[in-house]
Amino acid sequence: MSELTKELMELVWGTKSSPGLSDTIFCRWTQGFVFSESEGSALEQFEGGPCAVIAPVQAFLLKKLLFSSEKSSWRDCPEEERKELLCHTLCDILESACCDNSGAFCLVSWLRGKTTEEQTAGISGSPAESSCQVEHSAALAVEELGFERFHALIQKRSFRSLPELKDAVLDQYSMWGNKFGVLLFLYSVLLTKGIENIKNEIEDSNEPLIDPVYGHGSQSLINLLLTGHAVSNVWDGDRECSGMKLLGIHEQAAVGFLTLMEALRYCKVGSYLKSPKFPIWIVGSETHLTVFFAKDMALVAPEAPSEQARRVFQTYDPEVACTGNKICTPGCPQDLLLSHNIRAHAIHIGVTPGTPGSPEQQGTTPQDHSFQDLEF
């Protein structure tokens, strides 16, 4: 098994200290992208865990179906159209994960009839021109492969252009529906993004993308599929805490994210995810991810001026993120404030000598305090 394969396994699954538990979680993730028989455009999930990949794919699939086609009904989705929708959706997510201008895209597949030497080479020895035949059906049962053998059989193929990638994804359509389709796509996104790039964005690089105990996907994994960035937080922009930089979302997302955890005050979702470009949201509960959507574009809108102002203000006073107030100490450049239509009024607060708690009574020198009251 190649070093790249081992790095990929560690990034996704963590250190494999309990083989039985890892195999159990692994089996829950071994499913393909399968459409429902009752809802033509709906993807099905069979076990707990893979909703971290299935839900974002479902959301982007609906975006393409509702807002990039002229169909009158999203329920009427014949098989050939579903094939096109799924493949284009997978390509869109892979394109957003490609973080450089080289346009290097990766597809991971598992192969049939590989030699022992090829199995040893693993991911690293697989150019796009490989003549090996991709296994398009789940001929081998999950129990026959298992965790270790599956990862010994996977292969990476690289593409230098988006048209080449789209042709390959479409050509391998049946592979996305087999028992390993979700994992193969996940690995394709991770290798397209780059393992080192992902580690640089994740808050704790030692934390695997899939929880080794419960099998759910991390917030970094969800954010990677939604925005192309594997950051661990859902707030707008970056923040600093005790000298440590915490990465957040940097632009309005095409598809939004909401979570019950915010109602419980465990986190705060920023406006970039709350107010996406399209009225489609992934909604997280304690144990599951669900997709909410609508066709009414009036539900979403460009960012409000007050939100823009608050973001500029927060750059110079991080306390705004916690308190939500509009008072800060001097330091915000006036030209920057005016460029965002923010009017600043100086406020001077002094302490009357001799009053209880005054500096004279406390043995200190009286001082005036200056603030800026911002008007959005």
Helical H runs in the chain? 3-13, 19-29, 51-67, 79-97, 116-121, 142-153, 162-171, 173-176, 181-193, 195-201, 219-227, 260-263, 271-274, 305-316, 319-323, 334-339, 359-362
Catalytic residue among 51, 87, 91, 328: 51
Q: Is 51 considered catalytic here?
A: yes
* Residues 31 and 50: beta-carbon distance below 8 Å: yes
* Residues 183 and 57: beta-carbon distance below 8 Å: no
In degrees and rounded to multiples of 5, residue 201 shows phi and psi of -95, -30
Q: Which of 211, 205, 203, 209 is nearest to 221 (CA)?
A: 209
Rounded (10°) CA dihedral 130, 138, 107, 65 = 140
Helix (H, G, I), strand (E, B) or coil at 99: coil
Helix (H, G, I), strand (E, B) or coil at 35: strand
Residues pairing with 246 in the sheet: 239
- Residues in the chain, how many? 376
The first and second tokens of residue 129, run together, are 């021109």
Helix (H, G, I), strand (E, B) or coil at 372: strand
The first and second tokens of residue 250, run together, are 């940097």
Cα angle at 91 between 181 and 182, to 5 degrees? 15
Determine the Cα–Cα distance for residues 23 and 14; give it in Å rounded to an integer: 13
Structural element, H or E, at residue 246:
strand 244-246
Determine the Cα–Cα distance for residues 86 and 57; give it in Å rounded to an integer: 8
Determine the Cα–Cα distance for residues 184 and 35; give it in Å rounded to an integer: 17
Catalytic residue among 88, 136, 250, 288: 288
Catalytic residues: 51, 288
